[in-house]
């Protein structure tokens, strides 16, 4: 996969920034996408050679189209951009809050993936990595009987379903489409994440593994950052 081209959404901070850093270190050219141009430029300046800034708001159709027009060739798409609210259970949440979270975590992934599919189809080894969450596992949720962070967690369950659908649809064309459970990491996602001690770089390594899968690698799987399988 040397000399390949990758695009990482939400690459100006947190896990996305570490994914971009590690892909560049592996010899790839990386479009570091960010919805704020200034923050994106700062991230690229830090990440250094091999990184290109790309303004991309995954909730804005015009922004997505403009970004896609600037990337004629692409081998790897990492759908990392995501948002979360507080830890409310569904009975305490509003429909508008669900819409706000889904706009980025679900609808944004569909819009971005479809916009960049023409470029990915030109690749000999197309890869799509969706940054999900272990909290989106319905199996684990049923076992834990926990309903907090309902908007975020249900959006990740929907993202997991999309991962399967895209994998089945694109697998015959050489695509590898997988979801990653990065674990709780020290990021700005929400207050719980910000207070955690988890290293974003450790999670990023799991994403890079999926981004650089060989042609006989898994497709349509939900894997943890350490390579173990997560139940849907």
- Give the relative orientation of helices 14-25 and 37-47 as an angle to the nearest 10 degrees: 40
| CA gap 171, 151 in Å, rounded | 30
* Structural domain spans, the chain: 5-224
DSSP label at 133?
-
| CA gap 20, 24 in Å, rounded | 6
pTM of the model: 0.95
216: how many CB neighbours lie within 10 A of its CB?
A: 7
| CA gap 132, 228 in Å, rounded | 14
| CA gap 118, 140 in Å, rounded | 36
pLDDT at 118: 98
Backbone angles phi, psi at 143, to 5 degrees: -70, -35
User: The tokens of 46 are what?
Assistant: 């830090």
pLDDT at 75: 98
- Give CA angle at 36 (30, 39), nearest 5°: 70
Tens-of-pLDDT digits for all 232 residues of the chain?
668 999 999 999 999 999 999 999 999 999 999 999 999 999 999 998 999 999 999 999 999 999 999 999 999 999 999 999 888 899 999 999 999 999 999 999 999 999 999 999 999 999 999 999 999 999 999 887 678 899 999 999 999 999 999 999 999 999 999 999 997 676 767 677 667 778 888 989 999 999 999 999 999 999 999 999 999 9
- Whether residue 198 contacts residue 133, with contact meaning beta carbons closer than 8 Å, is answered with no
DSSP label at 188?
S
Within its chain, how far is the Cα of 224 from the centroid? 13
* CATH number 2.60.120.650 is the correct assignment for the domain at 5-224: no
Helix (H, G, I), strand (E, B) or coil at 130: strand
Which residues are catalytically annotated?
152, 156
């Amino acid at each position: 996969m040397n000399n390949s081209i990758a695009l990482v959404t939400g690459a100006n901070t947190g896990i996305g920034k570490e994914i971009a850093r590690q892909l560049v270190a592996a010899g790839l050219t990386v479009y570091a996408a960010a919805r704020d141009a200034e923050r994106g430029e700062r991230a690229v300046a830090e990440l250094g050679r091999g990184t290109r800034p790309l303004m991309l708001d995954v909730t804005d159709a015009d922004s997505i189209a403009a970004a896609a027009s600037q990337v004629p060739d692409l081998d790897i798409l990492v759908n990392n951009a995501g948002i979360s609210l507080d830890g409310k259970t569904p009975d305490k949440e509003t429909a508008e809050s669900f819409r706000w979270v889904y706009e980025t975590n679900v609808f944004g992934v569909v819009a971005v993936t479809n916009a960049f599919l023409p470029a990915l189809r030109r690749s000999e080894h197309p890869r799509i990595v969706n940054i999900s969450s272990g909290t989106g596992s319905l199996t684990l949720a049923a076992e834990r009987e926990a309903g907090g962070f309902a908007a975020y967690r249900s959006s990740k369950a929907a993202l997991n379903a999309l991962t399967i659908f895209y994998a089945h649809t694109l697998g015959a064309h050489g695509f590898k489409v997988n979801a990653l459970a990065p674990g709780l990491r020290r990021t700005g996602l929400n207050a719980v994440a910000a207070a955690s001690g988890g290293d974003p770089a450790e999670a990023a390594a799991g994403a890079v593994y999926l981004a650089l899968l060989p042609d006989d690698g898994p497709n349509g799987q939900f894997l943890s950052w350490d390579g173990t399988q997560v139940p849907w």
